[in-house]
Amino acid sequence: MTEIDYAAIAREAGLPRVGARPTLPAYLKEMWERRHFATKMARYRIEASLAQNRLGLAWVVLNPLLQAAVYGFVFGVIMPRDTREGINFIPFLVTGFFVFQFFGQSFSQGAKAITGNRSLVRSLGFPRMLLPVSAVIRQVYELVPMMVVLAVILVGFGEAPRWEWLYVPPILALMTLFNTGVALIAARLTVHLRDVTQIIPIVTRLLMYMTGIFYSLEQVLADNPPWMLTIAQLNPVHDYIQLVRAMVLDGQEVNTLIVVVAIVAAFAFFVAGIFFFWKAEERYGRD
């Protein structure tokens, strides 16, 4: 067998290497060109997952609502009331829970985006980032009816509509950036180490209690040294929820720290997530 210099043939014909990771700008450009795939896939997956159920789309709202009801029962009836003095409890709980749900679902679904779509990753070529992004888009779609129901609940429990409600979409947009970053980071970590999927529910649960869905952290920590509340407010998830609450409920306060953390965390996680995920582009679907 004669030795042929294949690399030289490829050079002569001007053929680039297949499967090489594109530069970040080229990668993002391709992402943009194929954005319809991510959005359509998100929409169709919601449709498909609900096609089997009698109540169909209603479950998107009903499920978190029932979960909130369980927590409301436990924390509203059994827990002492001094953890939420002067708070309109049901709207407080539902606001917190719905917004937290947006984070928790983005996190867990984003983490499974690559490993759960293994056959797709192995048979078609596209920027892999589309998958975790599509998972987050799906959560955004599901958030819309949840927010409508939230508005109904707020009004039903005596919180009159006001102009501040209009701040909620921009706050949630910031949170979407944050969630996307977290989903991208989780998606890559899961590829490296499948065990991460086991830890995610625990991290989510821990975050949920640290975020103060059923009690006001500001009140619970009021008697403790102020640094404890500062640490609690460094948690971006808490800050997004607190910002939304301040817009829709009476007597909820935000300070500069919360606003700064919410904005900085959104962009920091978004950029870091994109970079971190892109770095391993060649590895996805390899195992």
Partner 1 sequence: MTEPGKPTIVVDNLHVEYKTFSSGKAAADRRSLLNKQRGVRVVHALKGVSFVAHEGESIGVIGHNGSGKSTLMRTIAGLQQPAKGAVYGAARPALLGVNAALIPDLTGDKNVVLGGLALGMTPSEIEEHREDIIDFSGVREFMDLPMKAYSSGMAARLRFSIAISRDHQILMVDEALAVGDKAFREKSEQRIRDMREQAGTVFLVSHSMRSILDTCTRVLWIDHGRLKMDGKPKDVVGAYKKSK
59 is an interface residue for partner 1 by CB under 8 A? no
2 is an interface residue for partner 1 by CB under 8 A? no
Q: State the minimum distance, in angstroms, from the CB of residue 119 to partner 1.
A: 4
195 is an interface residue for partner 1 by CB under 8 A? yes
45 is an interface residue for partner 1 by CB under 8 A? yes
10 is an interface residue for partner 1 by CB under 8 A? yes
What do you get for the CA distance between the two ends of the chain, in Å? 33
Nearest alpha-carbon partner for 102 in 209, 25, 204, 188: 204
Asked whether 208 and 68 are in contact (CB, 8 A), the reply is no
How far, in Å, CA of 44 to CA of 199, rounded? Answer: 29
Spatial CB neighbours of 197, under 8 Å, sequence gap ≥ 6: 111, 112, 115, 190
By CB under 8 A, what part of segment 96-115 binds partner 1?
115
Segment near partner 1 (CB under 8 A); pick from 15-23, 71-79, 81-89, 252-260: 15-23
125 is an interface residue for partner 1 by CB under 8 A? yes
Long-range contacts of 60-65 (CB under 8 A, 24+ apart): 60/142, 60/145, 60/146, 61/145, 61/146, 61/149, 64/97, 64/98, 64/101, 64/146, 65/94, 65/149
Question: Residue 212: which region, alpha, beta or left (left: phi > 0; alpha: psi -120 to 50)?
Answer: left
Which two tokens mark 14? 């001007």
How far, in Å, CA of 98 to CA of 146, rounded? Answer: 7
Among 117, 176, 233, 252, binds partner 1 (CB under 8 A): 117
Q: State the minimum distance, in angstroms, from the CB of residue 202 to partner 1.
A: 15
121 is an interface residue for partner 1 by CB under 8 A? yes
168 is an interface residue for partner 1 by CB under 8 A? no
Segment near partner 1 (CB under 8 A); pick from 5-13, 179-187, 201-209, 227-235: 5-13
Among 25, 32, 52, 163, binds partner 1 (CB under 8 A): 52
Among 15, 78, 166, 202, binds partner 1 (CB under 8 A): 15
202 is an interface residue for partner 1 by CB under 8 A? no
Distances (CA, A) of 212 to 155, 205, 220, 239: 23, 11, 9, 10
Q: State the minimum distance, in angstroms, from the CB of residue 231 to partner 1.
A: 32
Q: State the minimum distance, in angstroms, from the CB of residue 183 to partner 1.
A: 20
DSSP class of residue 74? I
Q: State the minimum distance, in angstroms, from the CB of residue 6 to partner 1.
A: 4
Rule CB under 8 A: which residues touch partner 1?
4, 6-7, 9-10, 13-19, 33-34, 36-37, 40-41, 44-45, 47-49, 51-52, 115, 117, 119-126, 194-195, 198, 282-283, 285-287
